[in-house]
Amino acid sequence: MSRRRELEQHRHRLDETREIMSSMQALAFMETRKLADFLDAQRSVVAHIHAVAEDFFSFYPENLPFATDLKQVYLLFGSERGFCGNFNESLVEALEAKQTKNRSSSAWVIATGNKLCAQFEENSPSTTLLEGTSVVEEVENTLMRIVATLSDLQAQNGGISLTILHHDPDQDGVLCTQVLPPFESLRDATPRFSHPPQLNLSAGKFCIELTERYLFSTLHETLYLSLMAENQHRVSHLESAVQQLDEKSAALSLRGNTLRQEEITEEIEVILLSAASLQPPR
């Protein structure tokens, strides 16, 4: 009897855990639905800025900076919460591979997300650890912390080269996106129109403001992409975990039924033996 009760208690605990994980899975799925609208809108903004930049630099290519001796900075978008598989570990592996390939072991690293930050040394002199984003409403706060850190590094080093390592919901693996220096692919852009764009600012001032808007919008988009990919990882990971819990619960239920049948058989045998002992002798 005690063995069957232990199995029942274990199965009950598994069922409770299964309900919690199902709720977490539902919340992660709801977050992906909410992020889809934000991501579509931000993609449109970035595409529009890129189109404006292509038009501008095709007529004013001299405004693209030729910066040298830039401080290499790697920005990693990790997760604030767990249950998303190897989401953070793959970012660290991609960073190590990138540093080895570029021989940039002295580069500065900015890591966002508590689960990712746990993979780094807290007091490392070349690493900044920032709180990440759990839901879409927290994106703005995370973005402000990143921008403040980049501004400090820019002021200290005179110029930085920024590469973002992040997950994309539409692609496998970790993507490496170079954000600064900006618009390097437009250095040899050919004009699509016969006349240059009409500017209300000087070309140099317009270039500065365009670069700031591009950096802010690209960081925004990449944060949305990373958060979407994180929640997709979480949905998939929790779905697998829930399925395993269901299988274990079914196995325990079957084992419990088997033990119950054995107990009933033993009880019947005891009743028969008792009945036989009560019969008078012939």
- Identify the residue with better confidence: 10 or 169: 169
Amino acid at 23: S
* Model confidence pLDDT, tens digit, residues 221-251: 999 999 999 999 898 888 888 888 777 877 7
What residues are paired with 54 via a beta bridge? none
**Whole-prediction pTM:** 0.82
The answer to whether residue 280 scores a pLDDT higher than 70 is no
The three-point CA angle 243-247-253 to 5° equals 140
Side-chain half-sphere exposure of 275, counting CA atoms within 13 A:
6
Q: Where are the domains of the chain?
A: 28-191+216-235
Please count the residues of the chain: 282
Query: For 54-113, what is each residue's pLDDT tens digit?
Result: 898 888 888 887 767 788 999 999 999 888 888 999 999 999 998 888 776 678 999 999
Q: What is the mean pLDDT of residues 172-179?
A: 89
pLDDT at residue 282, as a whole number: 58
pLDDT: which is higher, 216 or 282: 216
DSSP secondary structure of 82-104: S-STTHHHHHHHHHHHHHHHHT-
Sign for the pseudo-dihedral over CA of 112, 114, 117, 119: negative
Question: Range with the lowest mean pLDDT among 29-33, 115-119, 192-196?
Answer: 192-196
Least confident of 76-80, 125-129, 254-258: 254-258
Rounded to 5 degrees, what are φ and ψ at 193? -125, 165
pLDDT value at position 1?
47
* pLDDT tens, position by position, 182-220: 888 787 777 777 788 888 888 889 888 998 899 999 999
Residue 165 reports pLDDT greater than 90: yes
Superfamily for domain range 28-191+216-235: ATP synthase, F1 complex, gamma subunit (3.40.1380.10)
